[in-house]
């Protein structure tokens, strides 16, 4: 009887020791797990952040491609003329992105997902009351504006894409930065850049997508490019319709 009692007592002691050791191991394991999670987060969070940025870039470029598809239909209805810029509009329905949306069957995005600005116009309010706001994240190339811009004289010779030699190399839409230059404005003037990359960058959101930006070309395709690959004296210039992808003789 005494032997059984001693055996039972010993077994209970062993169980307590095992339970104590198990409790100790659980605490250590918890600390190890926490350390591993912290390490993984340190590795994964930058990767996830980069993945989110890439996804936003793709959404923006896809939206530009939709603009390109829409403009091909617009050209058929308007004698191959591109939509004019909207710098003097009073009717919101005249904004070129709204006009193109009629050709897509769905509303085009006015705002790039990577554009962090919050000063976009409220289209339900009169535009003249919103002079410190922006139409959208995008800007048209004024050299291709068939109505509001006069290029090298009294008329714009590029009032039709038929006169653009290489539409696959000529940029029509770029991404606009959040600056006063684009308060109720929607176009850029490459002829004012005078070959200066640094000056030109003031008018382009050139680094919106991890050091690059999206561009829509006249032929309807969109690309994500470094700005210098579109504008670098004297090698390459995608902005002048008469000479793209080269520089004009007298920029």
Output the DSSP codes for 70-124. HHHHHHHHTTTPPPPP-TT--SGGGSHHHHHHTTTSSPPPSS-TT-----B--TT
Q: Does residue 131 sit within a domain?
A: yes
Q: Does residue 122 sit within a domain?
A: yes
Q: Please report the pLDDT score of residue 45 as a whole number.
A: 73
* Element at 225 (helix H, strand E): strand 222-225
- Share of residues in the chain with pLDDT > 90 (%): 40
By CB atoms closer than 10 A (0-12, 13-18, 19+), residue 241 is buried
Name, in order, each residue with C-beta under 8 angstroms of 127's C-beta and a sequence gap of 6 or more.
89, 90, 92, 121, 184
Question: pLDDT tens digits for 75-109?
Answer: 999 989 888 888 778 888 889 998 998 898 777 88
Q: How confident is the model at residue 4 (pLDDT cuts 50, 70, 90)?
A: very low
Q: Does residue 120 sit within a domain?
A: yes
User: pTM of the prediction?
Assistant: 0.79
Contact between 128 and 116 under an 8 Å Cβ cutoff? The reply is no
Q: Which residues pair with 187 in a beta bridge?
A: 140
Total count of residues recorded for the chain? 251
Q: Which residue has the higher pLDDT, 211 or 15?
A: 211
Residue 197 has pLDDT above 70, yes or no: yes
Residue 251 has pLDDT above 90, yes or no: no
Alpha helices in the chain (DSSP H): 2-77, 96-101, 197-200
Q: Does residue 207 sit within a domain?
A: yes
Can you tell me the mean pLDDT for 6-31? 58
Q: Which residues pair with 120 in a beta bridge?
A: 134
Can you tell me the mean pLDDT for 162-188? 90
Can you tell me the mean pLDDT for 108-131? 89
- Provide the CB-side half-sphere exposure for 183 (13 A, CA): 9
Contact between 144 and 172 under an 8 Å Cβ cutoff? The reply is yes
Report the range out of 48-62, 71-85, 122-136, 220-234 with the highest average pLDDT.
220-234
Residue 227 has pLDDT above 60, yes or no: yes
**Number of domains, the chain:** 1
Q: Does residue 250 sit within a domain?
A: no
Question: pLDDT tens digits for 32-79?
Answer: 777 788 777 777 777 778 788 889 999 999 999 999 999 999 999 998
Three-state DSSP at 210 gives coil
Contact between 70 and 78 under an 8 Å Cβ cutoff? The reply is no
Residue 5 has pLDDT above 80, yes or no: no
Q: Does residue 25 sit within a domain?
A: no
Q: Please report the pLDDT score of residue 131 as a whole number.
A: 85
Name, in order, each residue with C-beta under 8 angstroms of 165's C-beta and a sequence gap of 6 or more.
241, 242, 243, 244
Alpha carbon of 44 to those of 30, 37, 49, 139: distances in Å?
20, 10, 8, 35
Q: Please report the pLDDT score of residue 139 as a whole number.
A: 94
Question: pLDDT tens digits for 141-153?
Answer: 988 887 766 555 5
Q: Which residue has the higher pLDDT, 125 or 158?
A: 125
- Say how far apart CA 177 and CA 208 lie, in whole Å: 9
- Domain region containing 165: 30-243
């Amino acid at each position: 009887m005494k032997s059984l009692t001693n055996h039972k007592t010993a077994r209970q002691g062993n169980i307590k020791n095992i339970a104590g050791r198990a409790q100790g191991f659980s605490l250590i394991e918890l600390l190890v797990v926490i350390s591993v999670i912290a390490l993984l987060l340190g590795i994964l969070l930058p990767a996830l952040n980069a993945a989110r940025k890439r996804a936003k870039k793709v959404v923006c470029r896809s939206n530009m491609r939709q603009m390109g598809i829409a403009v091909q239909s617009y050209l058929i209805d308007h004698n191959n003329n591109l939509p004019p810029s909207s710098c003097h509009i009073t009717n919101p329905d005249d904004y070129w992105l709204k006009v193109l949306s009629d050709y897509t069957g769905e509303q085009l995005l006015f705002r790039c997902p990577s554009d962090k600005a919050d000063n976009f116009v409220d289209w339900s309010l009169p535009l003249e009351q919103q002079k410190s706001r922006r139409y959208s994240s995008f800007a048209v190339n004024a050299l291709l504006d068939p109505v509001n811009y006069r290029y090298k004289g009294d008329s714009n010779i590029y009032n039709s894409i038929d006169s653009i030699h290489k539409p696959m190399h000529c940029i029509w839409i770029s991404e606009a930065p959040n600056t006063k230059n684009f308060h109720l404005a929607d176009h850029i003037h490459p002829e004012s850049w005078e070959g200066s990359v640094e000056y030109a960058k003031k008018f382009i959101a050139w680094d919106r997508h991890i050091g690059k930006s999206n561009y829509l070309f006249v032929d309807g395709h969109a690309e994500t490019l470094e700005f210098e690959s579109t504008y670098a004296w004297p090698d390459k210039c995608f902005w002048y319709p008469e000479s793209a992808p080269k520089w004009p003789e007298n920029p």
